[in-house]
Structure 1
Amino acid sequence: MSDTKQSPEDLAILERLNLDYVEADQASDATRFSELLAEDFVVQTPGVTRNREEFLEYIAKPRPFKDLAVHDVKVRILSDVALIHGRSTYTMLADGAEQE
């Protein structure tokens, strides 16, 4: 599948939404996440699957990390879907370990 024409305006909007997602995660902002997530949202992390409601409850709790940042972000628009790939880094509060 080839990328659809990607206007600078569309890319800017998607990049901003991605940053909103990251900032909401760092800030435990379940309200902002509730605006961003689809009603049928599901997230899978190692050993855990959460639906939208479970994720919003989880995200509302204080985050166990600080300095969450994204790097090497690439936005691709494919028809009416966009894929955002990137890398994140953060520092664990418990032991100061840097994670990626």
Structure 2
Amino acid sequence: MNDTKQSAEDLAILEQLNLDYNQADQASDAKRFSELLAEDFIVQTPGVTRNREEFLEYIAKPRPFKDLALRDFKIRILSDVALIHGRATYTMLSDGVEQEALYTDTYQKREGTWVCVAACAIAPGA
């Protein structure tokens, strides 16, 4: 398989994974996250670092926001690692204020499958 075809396929897969990640976040879908995340996954949000199990426990709780929407994102493939840099908006349930989050998710292709190995979000109220 040539590099161009592989890159196009990988880009399509990573774009769908990015959409799935954000949909699972809004839906508190720990089951879907368990399929997306590597066993050694780590996430950082303001003031908190969580491992995979801690994150799955956290994400299973109802989210404090609604209307999570991707506004833009960029996927960069660097060999067997991919970075997804993005911006999303959401509305806080407590006060109805719309907020913005910036994120970087890191994926690695392991045994032919892209898995999320790390995530970092700058997200007030998340």
What is the CA–CA distance in structure 1 between the aligned matches of 2:78 and 2:47, rounded to whole Å? 30
Residue range with higher mean Cα deviation, 16-25 or 36-45: 36-45
Once the two structures are TM-superposed, the CA of residue 8 in structure 1 deviates from its matched residue by 2.2
Instruction: Give every structure 1 segment of 4 or more consecutive aligned residues whose post-TM-superposition deviation is greater than 3 Å.
Output: none
- Report the count of equivalent residues: 97
Q: Please tell me the residue identity of whatever aligns with 1:17.
A: L
Q: Please tell me the residue identity of whatever aligns with 1:41.
A: F
| Aligned partner of residue 73 in structure 1, secondary structure | strand
Let me know the Cα RMSD of the aligned residues. Answer: 1.3
The equivalent of 2:21 in structure 1 is 21
In proportion to residue count, which structure has more strand? 2
What is the CA–CA distance in structure 1 between the aligned matches of 2:85 and 2:49, rounded to whole Å? 20
Equivalences for 1:5-84 in 2 at 5 Å?
A: 7-84=7-84
What is the CA–CA distance in structure 1 between the aligned matches of 2:7 and 2:40, rounded to whole Å? 28
Which stretches in structure 2 are left out of the alignment for 5+ residues? 101-126
The equivalent of 1:86 in structure 2 is 86
Question: TM-score when scaled to structure 2?
Answer: 0.73
What is the CA–CA distance in structure 2 between the aligned matches of 1:71 and 1:90, rounded to whole Å? 10
What is the CA–CA distance in structure 2 between the aligned matches of 1:11 and 1:43, rounded to whole Å? 22
Which stretches in structure 1 are left out of the alignment for 5+ residues? none
| Aligned partner of residue 55 in structure 2, secondary structure | helix
What is the CA–CA distance in structure 2 between the aligned matches of 1:93 and 1:53, rounded to whole Å? 26
| Aligned partner of residue 76 in structure 1, secondary structure | strand
